[in-house]
A = this chain, B = another copy of it.
């Protein structure tokens, strides 16, 4: 069969293992030189395609590509940019075809979450609607674990492992300080809509009194007095209280805790996230000394503590994406199918993109404990396999060694395009 080029790009918030998927895509492409010529990576996601800002990956050595497997962040640059409808913004799609034709690109791999799946789905219609022969495959990625159909999303397992480990470690810290000092520790984690990451914090402990003592989910309306009663009970019973709170924690009426409408002395909206807000409530209502942490980017960039399961799966979906493309399976996404919980077994299956784009998977109610402050055994059974195994990166001079890309740009053949 004829040889054509491939396009690969990264989109949306990055993860500790999105580059492991890039590694999977690129290494798989390199194993098929008869079918796939060059891999062109879009600089900053789909924007790279629109502006013809392409990185010629053939200039990167096998060693560099292998190093992507243990490099966090998005090595080719990501973007927050969603293609508009083909009907109203036809010029964008015509431009994509122009760029793909100019560089003989017939394979399109887009590595992202729900929004990016929508972009990939639109691109996959170029073939049917505009007659350009392209096979588009979406490579799943999101720390939020909110993609449907796939059992879990690559990127989530590593955040989960980081948050569970950090909760365990910080809990040992406050447990040793609480007799004469700090009584309450609040850890704020990502997850604006779905509480999967907060739930992972609960993996730090299980037995009676083991921290975290409270998990606060976006799925459960925040009830200040109920939370404070539980904090007080925990301090009374165990000497301290550890809380893992989702950034998306909200009141019954949908207002976020972090966006409490407070303004500072200059009339500016109050700064800060959920953790300081909640810690402030603890101080106000109960008077306890507190500490709080906001992990933010640290949690989703923490490749040093990645889950081996997650790294393996991130690589596997990248590899499988190429196989699907070579089989001509347009508008698909490699999804993770759980075969068994214990021992944990999984395989990759193809899922139709139309069933994935723009749909969010929230935590099922049966994963949240009845009192709303913790996880159930069903949730533990689901989450636990995802954090298994360590895959430490190589270290050099005391720090993780990361891939250094040349990022050789492909010569432009087309006039400039404003996005």
Residues of A in contact with B (beta carbons under 8 Å apart): 10, 13-14, 16, 44-45, 47, 71-81, 161, 164-166, 168-177, 179-181, 185, 187, 203-204, 261-266, 268, 270-273, 275-277, 279-280, 284, 291-298, 300-305, 307, 384, 387-390, 392, 395, 397-400, 402
Contacts and interface: CB of A to CB of B under 8 A. Distances in A.
Given A14-B177, A185-B297, A265-B261, A388 B392 contact: no
Contact of A169 (B266, B268, B301): B301
Contacts of A77: 175-176, 179
Closest 8 CB pairs of A and B: A73-B172, A74-B176, A293-B296, A387-B398, A272-B272, A169-B301, A271-B276, A170-B297
A interface, by DSSP: helix, strand, loop or mixed?
Answer: mixed
A76 B270 CA distance: 40
A233 to B, nearest CB: 21
24 contacts: A13-B177, A71-B172, A73-B172, A73-B176, A79-B181, A80-B177, A168-B399, A168-B400, A169-B297, A172-B301, A173-B297, A173-B300, A262-B264, A263-B265, A265-B270, A270-B270, A271-B277, A293-B294, A295-B295, A295-B298, A305-B305, A387-B398, A387-B399, A388-B397
Contact of A389 (B72, B185, B305, B398): B398
Nearest to A273: B276
A272 B268 CA distance: 15
Given A168-B400, A185-B297, A264-B270, 13 more contacts: A71-B172, A72-B169, A73-B169, A77-B176, A164-B399, A173-B301, A271-B276, A271-B277, A271-B279, A291-B297, A293-B297, A298-B298, A389-B398
A302 B169 contact: yes
Nearest to A419: B180
A386 to B, nearest CB: 8
B180 A81 contact: yes
A292 B45 CA distance: 24
Contacts of A14: 173, 176-177
Contacts of A261: 265
A165 B13 contact: no
A199 B79 CA distance: 31
* Central interface residue in A47, A204, A268, A294, by most chain B CB within 10 Å: A294
Contacts of A280: 268, 271
A72 to B, nearest CB: 5
Nearest to A386: B398
Contacts of A73: 169, 171-173, 175-176
